[in-house]
Structure 1
Amino acid sequence: MKNLKFASILLLISTLFLKFSSMIRDLVIANYFGTSYIVDSYNAAMIIPNAFILFMLTGMKDAFIPSYLRYEKENKGKVHLTNIVKSTFLICFIISVLGSIAAFFYFPASYSNFSKAAIELGIYTGVMYFLSLSLVGVNAVYEGVFDARSQYSFSVFSQTVVVLFTILSTILLHSIMGGYAIALGYFIGTIASFLIKVVYFKPQHLLLWKQKIDRDEVVAFYKVFIPVGVTIMVGQINLTVNFFFAGSFGEGVISYLNYAFRLVSIPQAIFGVTVATIIYPLIARAISEKDEERFKSGIEKGITFMLMLLIPTIVIMIFYMKDIVMIAYQRGAFDAHSTLKTTDVSYYYLGSVFFYSLQAVLAKGFYSLQKGYLIMRAGLLSIVLNIIFNMIFTKFMGYQGLALSMSVVAFFYTAIVFVMLAKQINHFHYGYLVKETGKILLASVPVAIVMFFLKDIAFLNSLHVILRFGIVCIAGGLVYLMSTLLCRVEGVMLLVKRKR
């Protein structure tokens, strides 16, 4: 338990660092390029290869962890690792080549209203991201090994390296290469991340080099992995659809949507990824040991811990969204006008952050049960719903409707997944979930009241935006801590008992 607690703290710290570095990357891009055609083109071009990258990066880990743990119990972990690494590299290499060629055709066809310079940048970005994919899959397999061994922080660190190289490339080469420097940094960072793993394991221990690929074992693994990977791709596919719609609204709109989505998704990336990553090996082991009650309890605690962290964060964001956007982006080429447009869009994304964070926990349940094909069906349905809602909402609201569509789809997607998982495990303990959710909502009410009154205090409004937001967060955090203790929220009470 102490080792798990220490690993959890390390994961949270490293995840915060990863998300902080990702935010710096977006901040650097905003500073040098604002909401220009360069950012529009970059975001539009990387979205399709990034869907394949997430397919491999996150999907691979979600499928590989329970598979690796099962083979490790039979002392065949290294053999299984070798089979998956070799086959994954071959598959990713083929996709890299085909995707790079396809970029010369699909991007100009999808964004024919873009300028010649924007199309050239988009093609280059697509090619560089697809070339990176050849190593992304291999990186993901080894990061799955780290997670299975509860070495979460090293897994996150190897992902952070990619982001840091993207930042450095943009800063050092933007004056020479312009927007071309961003994708180049990602490509170099992917190579660096792989080399770190080579050094860590040492080449001779990286895999069983002479072992031939066991096709039957690989086919069995990919039957489980493909539905998981496709489910992970759903979010990126929906973003691709949104960007395709956004391209018709003129220059800057894709940038507004992307900046807003990335910023608002920070709580999901920090809390969602952390909680889901921590519970995954636990519930996977519960399934391998056929302990259904422990599996069910793990999912329920994951949901309630997620709500405990997420709800007060969203409350603060509702009242201080403009301040958050200003702190994150408003400098250099990103002006006050861009801040207002991005803030406007950000509010409509809040629902997607809330529901997709819960879905991240529920999804781990399906992956542990090795029934990813079930959640994949819900994911494919969400794509259809997203297209329908995009057409409806943009007709009445303009491009803001694209963000609202994402939130509405997230609600339906999560609701469907929750019902499906409940049926698989003979229902949750609904009384427990309702009780804990009620406590968390009640504890969040004082936070909302405090935010409401702080918003109109002249002294606070006269302070620098960073200082003002820092004071607000501290005040909100202290109020929430006291109210959770009064409401006896389980997560907080467990921490108090352990300290005692």
Structure 2
Amino acid sequence: MSKLRVATLLFFVSTFVLKFSSLLREMVIANYFGSSAVTSAYVAAMTIPNAFILFMLTGMKEAFLPSYYKFEAKGQGFSHLTNILKGTFWISLLVSIIGIALSPFLMPLIYPQWAGEEEVIQVAIWTSIIYFGSVFLVGINAVYEGYFDSQKKFSFSTFSQTIVVLCTIGGAMLLHGSIGIYSVPLGYFIGTILSFFIKLVYVKPKNFLDWKQSIDRQEVYAFYLIFLPVGLTIAVGQVNLFVNTIFSAQLEDKTALANLNYAFRLVNIPQAVFGVTIATIIFPIIARAKTENNMALFKRGIEKGLSFMFLLLAPTVAGMIFLMQEVVQIVYQRGAFSADAASETAKYAVLYTGSVVFYSIQAVIAKGFYTLEKGHYMLRVGIISIICNVILNAILSKTMGASGLALSFSLVGFIYSAITFTTLYRMIEGFSLRYVGLEYVKMTIATAGMLGVLWTAKTQLALQQLHVYLYVFIMGAVGAIVYFALLWLMKSQSIRELMNIKEFRRQAREGR
């Protein structure tokens, strides 16, 4: 097996571990703290610093790789790494200091409804302080994770992020009895420090950067001109979550914010896993097409990305909706998380599922924009989505309460994906909607057939009398077999080509 295949396999495995460890973190928080007002305060407070954290972590990878490769080609890769590390350190440190200083004033200002509840507002303030305290090291970690990706050490990058998640889990498990909900942000802070020192030891301090080199401010400035629009585009989703958080914190039900967060984190797993997987497969194809000026291959890559994405998401999302109550029960219902909380979370999760499909499709489209160096279009559409989110939140939260906020997120996802899809379609002068549409019809029919079999099994075979774990496992296995069998009978090209990506590349080059 080639080194590239080994690296790719390790990347996929480490990605699955990272995403499911993130879900485990939410399970631990639900177990120890439930969906209380204090938990809602924690969720609300961490949303703001988390926007900066995701801005650095995800945006840095998109911007640093091409920038590093450009300087590496001139023999200045290490010098460039040093400049970006030093520049990012000072920028991140400034954000940390400002965030820490403003937290005691910002939290009561944003969430005035908690002003009379001392414990709740203190949780919000200290959660914000601790997370902002982590930002300066997150910046350094982000640069080095981008560097590891440039060296094709993808698994090490995701491993370092997994360390942070595991420390967050460990903090909650070990310290929840003594310091309560503060154990969660404290665990994150410790994980960030540990992740930094692992990188420092792995690379060795003398090779970490050129300690004597002065910062080339012009080079750092030029890099951040590229990085900012990319990072801001990626942070759009987090901004929309923050908007939802503000509206949900104003609801009379003080547990709604926490339950909405649990629901979102649960349904986000398929999007995160499949989004990363499909984008990883497609991105090198369309990037190579751009380099070779092969628009036929570029279009074919987008078509396949959209088809592969729906191939995996259609049965997953439909199956989750069908089994949502049982899935939430398995994942969250234990300890401090009650049956009532599980019921509310399942209701919100169903309404969030639309966002899974739309944002996953948008993830493929985004790769097209980034490959064409048209990322600023994504930023414009992202701003439109934020405005739409505010309007829809204001309307739906009044008419539907917390459920309206979950539905709003899905509707905004539809608007976002629809605009980006049509914009890219016009930009590249179209691609085969007939192929994509036909594949979507086949997948929809197969999904409907799968649901029909599952409904029959549920009502006629009395499977619900089984233990919930066994019930979900059997239904999931039966659903997968039926879905893929139906697609195979309908001769779906996506299954055959996903199983043979080399053949797809050959056909794409031939323009087939």
Pair 240,341 (structure 1): closer, same or farther in 2 beyond 3 Å: same
Of 415-424 and 228-237, deviating more is: 415-424
**Matched residue SS, 1:331:** coil
> What is the aligned partner in structure 1 of residue 277 from structure 2?
274
> What is the aligned partner in structure 2 of residue 326 from structure 1?
329
> What is the aligned partner in structure 1 of residue 25 from structure 2?
25
> Which one of 144, 153, 156 corresponds to residue 151 of structure 1?
153
Counting only pairs closer than 5 Å after superposition, residues 92-491 of structure 1 correspond to structure 2 as 92-114=92-114, 115-249=117-251, 250-491=253-494
Give the residue type in structure 1 aligned to 2:416: Y
**Matched residue SS, 1:178:** helix
- Consecutive unaligned residues in structure 2, runs of 5 or more: 504-512
Pairwise CA distance, 1:140: 1.5
Query: For 1:468 and 1:419, how far apart are their aligned partners in 2?
Result: 41
Q: Per-residue CA shift, 1:67-88, capped at 9, x if unaligned? A: 2233333333222222222211
Query: For 1:77 and 1:290, how far apart are their aligned partners in 2?
Result: 27
Query: For 2:292 and 2:83, how far apart are their aligned partners in 1?
Result: 25
Counting only pairs closer than 5 Å after superposition, residues 44-123 of structure 1 correspond to structure 2 as 44-114=44-114, 115-123=117-125
Pairwise CA distance, 1:269: 1.1
Pairwise CA distance, 1:435: 2.9
Query: What is the alpha-carbon root mean square deviation over aligned residues?
Result: 2.0
Pair 148,443 (structure 1): closer, same or farther in 2 beyond 3 Å: farther
Pairwise CA distance, 1:225: 1.1
Of 359-368 and 284-293, deviating more is: 284-293
Q: Is the 8 A contact 2:308 2:498 kept in 1?
A: no
Query: For 1:97 and 1:318, how far apart are their aligned partners in 2?
Result: 43
Pairwise CA distance, 1:285: 4.4
Pair 242,55 (structure 1): closer, same or farther in 2 beyond 3 Å: same
Query: For 2:5 and 2:487, how far apart are their aligned partners in 1?
Result: 21
Pair 350,86 (structure 1): closer, same or farther in 2 beyond 3 Å: same
Q: Is the 8 A contact 1:436 1:490 kept in 2?
A: yes
The total of aligned residue pairs comes to 500
Of 73-82 and 445-454, deviating more is: 73-82
Pair 142,280 (structure 1): closer, same or farther in 2 beyond 3 Å: farther
Pairwise CA distance, 1:109: 1.2
Pairwise CA distance, 1:431: 2.8
Pair 297,67 (structure 1): closer, same or farther in 2 beyond 3 Å: farther
> What is the aligned partner in structure 1 of residue 507 from structure 2?
none
- Consecutive unaligned residues in structure 1, runs of 5 or more: none
**Matched residue SS, 2:20:** helix
- Superposition TM-score, scaled by structure 2 size: 0.93
Pair 356,480 (structure 1): closer, same or farther in 2 beyond 3 Å: same
Pairwise CA distance, 1:47: 0.2
Pairwise CA distance, 1:497: 5.2
> What is the aligned partner in structure 1 of residue 508 from structure 2?
none
**Matched residue SS, 2:323:** helix
Pairwise CA distance, 1:195: 1.4
Q: Is the 8 A contact 2:449 2:483 kept in 1?
A: yes
Give the residue type in structure 2 aligned to 1:469: V
Q: Per-residue CA shift, 1:201-244, capped at 9, x if unaligned? A: 22222223223222232222212211111112211111111111
Q: Per-residue CA shift, 1:338-365, capped at 9, x if unaligned? A: 0111111111101111101111122222
Runs of 4+ in 1 over 6 A off after TM superposition: none
Pairwise CA distance, 1:305: 1.3
Q: Is the 8 A contact 1:224 1:372 kept in 2?
A: no
Query: For 2:100 and 2:287, how far apart are their aligned partners in 1?
Result: 37
Pair 429,272 (structure 1): closer, same or farther in 2 beyond 3 Å: same
Pairwise CA distance, 1:469: 0.4
Q: Per-residue CA shift, 1:20-63, capped at 9, x if unaligned? A: 11111111110111001221011000000001111101111112
Give the residue type in structure 2 aligned to 1:158: S
Give aligned-pair identity as a percent. Answer: 50
Query: For 1:66 and 1:419, how far apart are their aligned partners in 2?
Result: 27
Pairwise CA distance, 1:492: 2.2
Pairwise CA distance, 1:289: 4.6
Q: Is the 8 A contact 2:32 2:335 kept in 1?
A: yes
**Matched residue SS, 1:455:** helix
Q: Per-residue CA shift, 1:288-322, capped at 9, x if unaligned? A: 45444433333332222111111110110111000
**Matched residue SS, 1:427:** coil
Query: For 2:204 and 2:281, how far apart are their aligned partners in 1?
Result: 27
Q: Is the 8 A contact 1:303 1:361 kept in 2?
A: yes
